[in-house]
Structure 1
Amino acid sequence: MSSEYDWLTLDDDEEIVWAGQPSSQSLYGAYLVGVPMILLLGLGLVVIAAAYLRQQNTDYVITTKGVYKKTGIFSRAVTEIEFEKVQNTSFSVGPVGRYFGYGDVMISTAGGSGVEMILDGVTDPQAVQKQLSRRVKRAQGDADGETDESTKEDVLDEILLELRAIRQSMDNGAAARESVTDADPGERDG
């Protein structure tokens, strides 16, 4: 693990599968508010600097066992949600985010009151939410989740064998009908 994630404590068998932070495009709102405030009140630099520092000091990590969020400029707060506890994942994209390709991913836990964690301003939030959802389903053993490749191949092989048997049965039936129709009329009356 790199020193970039020195705040992350992973189990021995846990690996990082995705890492990110708020998109730099998510700062455009702060620029929109901050630049006019520089001209009017001089406080715009504070607005822009605070948004930039918040963006630079926020990290999100999805591992093979859970999702982590680190925030804090002067201090550090790390939140972890294990996949077994996740009840629901969703994403939302506002009009500006749609144009620039960023949005929020929300995570709700069982027994929690609403959304427990928001990954703010991530690039391609739909893909992040989809990956997170697949990991949650896999961890919870959901039948709709991903299965092993060998299991998928076994099921496909069984389907193929069944289809071939059906086709052979239909071909044999058609051949039998043709032989009856092609027979000499005298043989049929026989």
Structure 2
Amino acid sequence: MTDDLLLHADEDVLWQGSPRLSAAIGAVLGGLVLVSGGVAGVVFLPPEASLFARALVALLIPVGLAVPAYRVVELRRTRFAVSDAAVYARSGVLSREVRRVGLERVQNSAYTQSITGSLFGYGTVTFESAGGPSATFFRIETPREVRSLVDRRAERARDPVPGTIEQWTEVLAEVRELRAAVERRGGGQE
């Protein structure tokens, strides 16, 4: 699944997902309306209607079938991933767009859940970057956890100092001991 995201060879995938198919409900309903209109038009069009009018009304049927089919294919080809270096959003049916935002550039994140999203456990997470592209993971499972994962990783990636506070406190204590030892030997006087 991550092969088409163009991850760098040294990256490890921490999370991956795709939007829920329920995102196609609007397209399915719209397609149903178009098909119903096309069928009703063909059946109830008066016999004296022109061939052009009949063809135009009949065209609603394949268009009504194509709209939800395209949406489902679009959703199935949309992929999201979080690696140890970046967040990725891939989309496109006939062409491919892969958006990469390095974790060190993620400046802000937000997640939203609709009422149904809260009930069924899905939502949208947006990652904004400083001076670059943003990435949106829409209709994904556990959006809060994904946001938290990226926020933790982004903070680590932006932190220029390696190690923990405890490790640096130990280093400071060692340096103070060395300084005290040098001063006791008289090396600190000039």
| TM-score, length of structure 1 as denominator length | 0.66
> 1:87 and 2:84 equivalent?
no
What residue in structure 1 maps to residue 126 of structure 2?
Answer: 106
Note the 1:65-84 alignment, pairs <5 A.
65-84=85-104
Counterparts in 2 of 1:12 and 1:105: CA distance versus 1, 3 Å: same
Q: Is the 8 A contact 1:104 1:119 kept in 2?
A: yes
Q: How many residues align?
A: 145
> 1:8 and 2:28 equivalent?
no
What residue in structure 2 maps to residue 185 of structure 1?
Answer: none
What residue in structure 2 maps to residue 136 of structure 1?
Answer: 154
Counterparts of 2:91 and 2:157, CA distance in 1 = 26
> What RMSD over aligned residues (CA atoms) do the two structures have, in Å?
2.7
Equivalent of residue 117 in structure 2, options 65, 89, 97 = 97
Moved segments of 4+, more than 4 Å? none
User: Structure 2 regions of 5+ residues with no counterpart?
Assistant: 39-60, 171-190
Counterparts of 2:88 and 2:157, CA distance in 1 = 16
Q: Is the 8 A contact 1:86 1:107 kept in 2?
A: yes
Q: Is the 8 A contact 2:2 2:81 kept in 1?
A: no
Equivalent of residue 28 in structure 2, options 1, 16, 31 = 31
| TM-score, length of structure 2 as denominator length | 0.66
Identical amino acids, percent of aligned pairs = 29
Deviation for aligned residue 1:12: 4.2
Deviation for aligned residue 1:100: 3.0
Counterparts in 2 of 1:97 and 1:36: CA distance versus 1, 3 Å: farther
Deviation for aligned residue 1:31: 2.5
User: Structure 1 regions of 5+ residues with no counterpart?
Assistant: 156-190
Q: Is the 8 A contact 1:25 1:100 kept in 2?
A: no
